[in-house]
Structure 1
Amino acid sequence: MGGGGANPLAAAQEMLAKAQQELAATEIEGTAGGGAVKIRMSGEQKILGISIEPDVVDPGDVEMLQDLIMAAIADASERADELQAKSFGAITGGLNLPGLGLG
C-alpha cells in the first residue's frame, strides 16, 4: 500500500492522545449544598481535592455530609463526562469506542 498521504489512523490516534492530555490537565469543579461542598476533579475523573465549609460539618448528622460529598462527586463526574464527550466527539464521530472512558 503505497501513497504519499498521511496515515489517517495515525492522525486520529495523535488527536486522541492530545485530547487525553488536555483532559488530564483540565480541572472541573462539582458542588453540592449551594457550594458548601466542592470537589475538584480532572477531566479524567481523578479527584484532585475536596473543600467543605465548616458550617455543614455537624457531628450529629454525618449522613448529610456524606450525601453532600456524594452529590458533589456526581456533579463533577457528570461535568467530566460532558467534557470528555465534547473533546472526543469530533474525533470519534460520536462513536463510543472502548477504552476512551466515554460510556
Structure 2
Amino acid sequence: MDIKAMMKQAQKLQQEIKEKQEKISKQEFTYESPQIKVVANGKKEILSISINEAIINKEDKEMLEDLILVAVNNALSEVDKVIEKELGMYTRFM
C-alpha cells in the first residue's frame, strides 16, 4: 500500500471515529436502583439525579451521598462500555 492510500485510509478511520463519538455523545445512559436514578450523556455529563423521597432523612445524609456517588459512577461506567464497544477496534491500533 502506498503512502497516499495509507493517508486516505487513516482519514477514513478518523472520520468513522468522529461519527461514532458524535453518536455516543447524543446517547443517554442510566443507572437506577430503588433509591436513586442517575442519567448521563455520552459526554459524561450528568443530566439528572432523581432520589426516592422515602430515603431522604437528615440522619441518612451520608448514605444518600454514597448512593449518589455509586449511581454516578455506574452511569459513567455505562458510557465507557459503549465507547469501548464502538471505538475499541480503532483505539487498539493507535
Superposition TM-score tier, normalisation by shorter sequence: 0.7 to 0.9
Residue 36 of structure 1 corresponds to: 35
Residue 48 of structure 2 corresponds to: 49
Residue 14 of structure 1 corresponds to: 15
Note the aligned Cα RMSD (angstroms).
2.2
Residue 101 of structure 1 corresponds to: none
TM-score (ref. length: structure 1): 0.78
Deviation at 1:4, TM superposition (A): 7.5
8 Å CA contact retained: 1:15, 1:91: no
TM-score (ref. length: structure 2): 0.85
8 Å CA contact retained: 1:38, 1:52: yes
Residue 100 of structure 1 corresponds to: none
Structure 1's unaligned 5+ residue stretches are 98-103
The Cα offsets for residues 7-48 of structure 1, whole Å up to 9 and x where unpaired, read as 0111011101101111111000013xx332111001221111
Q: Structure 2: which amino acid aligns with 1:77? A: L
Q: 1:9 to 1:36 in 2, by over 3 A?
A: same
Q: 1:20 to 1:63 in 2, by over 3 A?
A: same
Runs of 4+ in 1 over 6 A off after TM superposition: none
Structure 2's unaligned 5+ residue stretches are none
1:62 equivalenced with 2:90 (yes/no): no
